[in-house]
Structure 1
Amino acid sequence: MSETASNVLPTPGTWPGEPVLVLGAGPVGQTTALLLARWGVPAILVDQRPRRDAHGSKAICQQRDVLDVWEAVGAGGRIAAEGLTWSTARTFYRDTELFSVDLATSGHPAFPPFVNLSQSRTEQILDDCLAAEPLIDVRWGAQAIGVEQDTTGVEVHCTDGTVLRSSYLVVCTGGHSALLRRMLGVRFDGHSFDDRFLICDIRADLPGWDTERRFYFDPAWNPGRQVLIHPCPDSTYRIDWQVPGDYDLEAEEASGALDDRIRAIIGDRQYEIVWQSVYRFHSRVASRMRCDRILLAGDAAHLYSPFGARGLNSGVGDAENAAWKIAYVGRGWAPEGLLETYHDERHAAARENLAVTTATMNFLVPPDEERAQRRTEILESATTEPGARADVDSGRLSEPFWYCVSPLTTPDPRRPAVDRPPRGQVPPAGPGVLLPDVPVRTPDGPSRLRALARDGFLLLAGAEVETAAARRTVAHVDTPVRVLALDEIDPDGTVRDALATAPTELWVVRPDAHVAAVLTDPTPETITAALTRATAATAAEPAIQR
């Protein structure tokens, strides 16, 4: 099946089976349901709460590429417009600034590196999108207590006696998903940290603090521990203090010590506490993220410390990966094996995020005296020696996971798999990497490269590639594929520069805007092999370019 139009999304009403059930109406569940609907897949979104809980900042840092995913369902622009933009992350030791990181830009992105907006407001915006989507049925007050599945679907039993039948189930029930994981035989390996973190949202006038994140090691106003400060809209600031495991918030409020704690940071200014809470952080990853027709996503599958903002942002990555793969398998565009690659790719992403955030927590809360001494030495050295600053870990900020070694990715020796680039940087475009976000031109008017990619499999042809031959080749595959000539959508060379592509190359792009292959001197055989691999249609050897 081949289409050259700008949009190959299915017509609503053509889904061949039962709706997909999504448990948990937090941002990851909301995103999953909206992305399924975008693929023409009806979804039932169920939450055990009686209604939305709209209190507290919770997950506030929305990363640029997540905003881009949300824009595909009509929410990204609104969240970015209401959120507070920041692009600089400053790190201090006591009263000395060690370094700042200005976040890199690849291509010409539509969104800033990060915006800060309370999770509750993000959820409200996503709720507006849900309400406008006829393929989504939202139900509150239904708690799942039993799950059964067979070769044709999944049944979820609720406390009120309701039985919900679905073709697939995506579990997005957050950190309190132990019952469902036990039913599925899934372990949740990892550990919890003894220290806690006090979080206060305060409203105050703090000139100069409204466009940057600030991280303090061992400040005088929290000796021996850390403080993190994030700006939010409406002159609100989120302050996180690392506190002992036996910290008592009520006692500190009653004694006036909480007021002293806040004023030690902001000085003698008026302020208002908007919300406050105490958290204990965890580092855990599910042993399996796919159990036949059931997928685990977001905090139901992984829990991280918040330094680096990798919780919600990685959950949206889970949602996008799950949605397109369910849609393709359910429509017969890809075999059942494509669902197993959800586990392959997102479990690898979860392990990467766990490694990054655990390293940060081990630096913030050293587990033994030797590492505590080493941390002190690094911080002391970093105040005078720039070379020591690379060893200071105040949290590596969230970034997309790169599927360079995925079973769906065709390796390219000219563009080998990338390691983590320096903090704040992005890898060069290539197999497994998310496409740069750059403007393009279409017959319908201006658009963006990722927007084109998210409408289905996309082949981008260089000037010396015969597009007619490529279209004849993809006409014989089962998956919808478009072939676009770069010269037609990229008259000024912006895309070619961002990709560093050659005229003889053909780029194969997945429906989640990740590059599946870069084919030099493409032939019908290598094109077919790359698409076959990208849809998990075969376990054959990859079509490696020589």
Structure 2
Amino acid sequence: MSDSEQQADAPVVVAGAGPVGMTAALALDARGIDSTILEADPEDRDRPGSRAIYVHKDTLRTLEQSHPGLGQRLVDNGITWSTRRTLFRGKEVFARTYPDRGGDGGLPHFTSLPQVWTEEYMLDAIEESDGIDLHWDSPVDTVDASDDGVTVETEGGDVWEAEYVVGADGAGSTVRKEIGAEFDGTESPNSFIIADVDEDPDNPRKQERVFHYDHPELGGRNVLFVPFQGGWRVDIQCRESDDPERMAEEPNINRMVATVLGERYRDRVTWVSEYKFKQVTADRMVDDRNRVLLAGEAGHLFAPFGARGMNSGVADADAAASAISVALNADVRETADGEIAEYGIRRQKAAEYNRAAAGQALEYLQGDSIVTKTKKRLAAELADYYEPAGEWLDDAPYGPHEGPPVTIGQY
């Protein structure tokens, strides 16, 4: 082993310093358990795009419990918009403004801010915590679990001996591959274009979430735009026949944004991405030795409807910390193994539920069946006379609100 390589012990190694990995480390720290985070990216990593902007109340509560003040900091630096509007082929079919932010325990139902801000605040919390050791430029290369623990080696040759490992290293997870877990699921046949747009500080729009069915000025494509602190997220659903790369080119996306938000936003696009949504879950969330736990996108990928991605990953991370805490304090090996195995069962069921829920919304938006089309058209016609019809049109694109039946939190 060279001088640049090291061998060290840690009760828990967390692979990945995204929101899920950092939540796991903070949740372990709150339970008195030290951890080491191994992050592949450098400390000055570039994280473009707003990405996961919508932070649910359950996530805020988890972060607040794991590091007092953290959830509140997200609320203080985010926004909670109170108006929802839905239009069908240019005609408004639903509008509602809520009198307050709702929520309980001092936390609102949600807050909306760029993910990079969330990560910044979580990094600050980690720096304030004595029990978390974060290593940048440390991509995990191998994970070798036994009955006695786990050996983790990085691509740089550093070796870590741990009791447990939390794999929160994203969609391309090395940890998932190392334990032999595989993704199973589908991919949307059409693409989506997502753009971040800076707010116009001299003439800001009203903070409201607006959904267009069949936007008449965008060729009948579905369009969502929603505010976050400092800007807007614009989401355009492409047809299968569209060329999404061409649509995402600067002149084209600028024109579409100007159509949707107003001419003054034409040159305020800061980031654009086009991709197809994957609906996949790992065939297991825990290794055969009950030593390695997957969390977040290492274990599942969902379409974004209902904001189930990061929020469900945070629920995974907190549940993993709880299971590991019980396992580390168990007097009997069978008890420890049973706790980790139970985590795997519960979080896989939760992932499968969230995949189905997001898929239900995706099918609703994309469905070409005559039944789906007829239901939406009739609801739009009834909306002027029967408010629940408009409310259904407003709510249906997000899937069911109920959380997985096997979890305490919503996601």
Q: Name the counterpart of 1:349.
A: 350
CA deviation profile, 1:249-291 (whole Å, cap 9, x unmatched): 467536x322221111122325512222222210001111111
Are residues 251 and 117 of structure 1, via their aligned partners in 2, closer, same or farther at CA, if it must alter by over 3 Å?
closer
Between the aligned partners of 1:296 and 1:99, the Cα distance in structure 2 is: 40
Partner of residue 50 from structure 1, selected from 42, 49, 52:
42
Q: Name the counterpart of 2:196.
A: 201
Any conservation in 2 of the 1:174–1:299 contact (CA below 8 Å)? Answer: yes
Between the aligned partners of 2:206 and 2:92, the Cα distance in structure 1 is: 14
Identity %: 32
Are residues 186 and 149 of structure 1, via their aligned partners in 2, closer, same or farther at CA, if it must alter by over 3 Å?
same
Between the aligned partners of 1:107 and 1:200, the Cα distance in structure 2 is: 29
Q: What's the CA shift for 1:333?
A: 7.1
Q: Name the counterpart of 2:157.
A: 161
CA deviation profile, 1:119-157 (whole Å, cap 9, x unmatched): 111000000001111111101111222111111111112
Partner of residue 227 from structure 1, selected from 223, 230, 234:
223
Q: What's the CA shift for 1:97?
A: 2.8
Q: Name the counterpart of 2:19.
A: 27
Q: Looking at CA atoms only, which structure, 1 or 2, has the larger radius of gyration?
A: 1
Q: Name the counterpart of 2:86.
A: 91
Between the aligned partners of 2:262 and 2:363, the Cα distance in structure 1 is: 31
Partner of residue 327 from structure 2, selected from 321, 326, 329:
329
CA deviation profile, 1:6-65 (whole Å, cap 9, x unmatched): xxxxxxxxxxx8420000110000000011011111101111112333321011000111
Are residues 150 and 102 of structure 1, via their aligned partners in 2, closer, same or farther at CA, if it must alter by over 3 Å?
farther
Q: Name the counterpart of 2:3.
A: none
Question: What stretches of structure 1 of length at least 5 have no aligned partner?
Answer: 1-16, 404-431, 436-513, 515-546
Any conservation in 1 of the 2:94–2:391 contact (CA below 8 Å)? Answer: no
Are residues 218 and 250 of structure 1, via their aligned partners in 2, closer, same or farther at CA, if it must alter by over 3 Å?
closer
Between the aligned partners of 1:389 and 1:276, the Cα distance in structure 2 is: 31
Q: Name the counterpart of 2:376.
A: 379
Q: What's the CA shift for 1:316?
A: 0.7
Between the aligned partners of 2:155 and 2:246, the Cα distance in structure 1 is: 35
Any conservation in 1 of the 2:13–2:38 contact (CA below 8 Å)? Answer: yes
Q: Name the counterpart of 1:306.
A: 304
CA deviation profile, 1:280-329 (whole Å, cap 9, x unmatched): 21000111111111101001111000111000011111011111110111
Q: What's the CA shift for 1:332?
A: 2.0
Between the aligned partners of 2:295 and 2:197, the Cα distance in structure 1 is: 31
Amino acid at match of 2:125: C
Tell me the matched-pair count.
384
CA deviation profile, 1:208-265 (whole Å, cap 9, x unmatched): 531x32221111133343111110112x1111111245534467536x3222211111
Partner of residue 259 from structure 2, selected from 261, 264, 269:
264
Q: What's the CA shift for 1:391?
A: 5.9
Between the aligned partners of 2:103 and 2:191, the Cα distance in structure 1 is: 39
Partner of residue 117 from structure 1, selected from 110, 113, 116:
113
Between the aligned partners of 1:209 and 1:396, the Cα distance in structure 2 is: 26
Between the aligned partners of 1:130 and 1:18, the Cα distance in structure 2 is: 16
Q: What's the CA shift for 1:345?
A: 1.6
Structure (1 or 2) with the greater helix fraction:
2
Are residues 66 and 397 of structure 1, via their aligned partners in 2, closer, same or farther at CA, if it must alter by over 3 Å?
farther
Q: What's the CA shift for 1:394?
A: 1.1
DSSP 3-state at the match of 1:80: helix
Higher relative contact order (CA 8 A, sep 6+): 2
Q: What's the CA shift for 1:376?
A: 2.0
2:52 aligned with 1:59: yes
DSSP 3-state at the match of 2:38: strand
Are residues 81 and 400 of structure 1, via their aligned partners in 2, closer, same or farther at CA, if it must alter by over 3 Å?
farther
DSSP 3-state at the match of 1:260: helix
Between the aligned partners of 1:288 and 1:252, the Cα distance in structure 2 is: 36
CA deviation profile, 1:475-523 (whole Å, cap 9, x unmatched): xxxxxxxxxxxxxxxxxxxxxxxxxxxxxxxxxxxxxxx9xxxxxxxxx
DSSP 3-state at the match of 1:290: coil
Are residues 433 and 50 of structure 1, via their aligned partners in 2, closer, same or farther at CA, if it must alter by over 3 Å?
closer
Q: Where do 1:168-179 residues align within 5 Å?
A: 168-177=164-173, 179=174
Between the aligned partners of 1:325 and 1:384, the Cα distance in structure 2 is: 51
Q: What's the CA shift for 1:344?
A: 2.1
Q: Where do 1:141-540 residues align within 5 Å?
A: 141-177=137-173, 179-205=174-200, 209-210=206-207, 212-234=208-230, 236-244=231-239, 247-249=243-245, 253=249, 256-270=251-265, 271-291=267-287, 292-332=290-330, 335-336=335-336, 337-366=338-367, 369=368, 371=369, 373-385=370-382, 386=386, 388=389, 392=393, 393-396=396-399, 400-403=403-406, 433=408
Question: What stretches of structure 2 of length at least 5 have no aligned partner?
Answer: 1-8
Q: What's the CA shift for 1:102?
A: 7.1
Q: Name the counterpart of 1:465.
A: none
DSSP 3-state at the match of 2:264: coil
Q: Name the counterpart of 2:63.
A: 70
Are residues 232 and 54 of structure 1, via their aligned partners in 2, closer, same or farther at CA, if it must alter by over 3 Å?
same
Q: Name the counterpart of 1:508.
A: none
Any conservation in 2 of the 1:225–1:364 contact (CA below 8 Å)? Answer: no
Any conservation in 2 of the 1:87–1:112 contact (CA below 8 Å)? Answer: no
Are residues 319 and 380 of structure 1, via their aligned partners in 2, closer, same or farther at CA, if it must alter by over 3 Å?
same
TM-score (norm 1): 0.66
Any conservation in 2 of the 1:309–1:398 contact (CA below 8 Å)? Answer: no
Any conservation in 1 of the 2:142–2:154 contact (CA below 8 Å)? Answer: yes
Between the aligned partners of 2:96 and 2:281, the Cα distance in structure 1 is: 29
Any conservation in 2 of the 1:289–1:343 contact (CA below 8 Å)? Answer: yes
Any conservation in 1 of the 2:324–2:340 contact (CA below 8 Å)? Answer: yes
2:126 aligned with 1:130: yes
TM-score (norm 2): 0.86
Are residues 106 and 340 of structure 1, via their aligned partners in 2, closer, same or farther at CA, if it must alter by over 3 Å?
farther
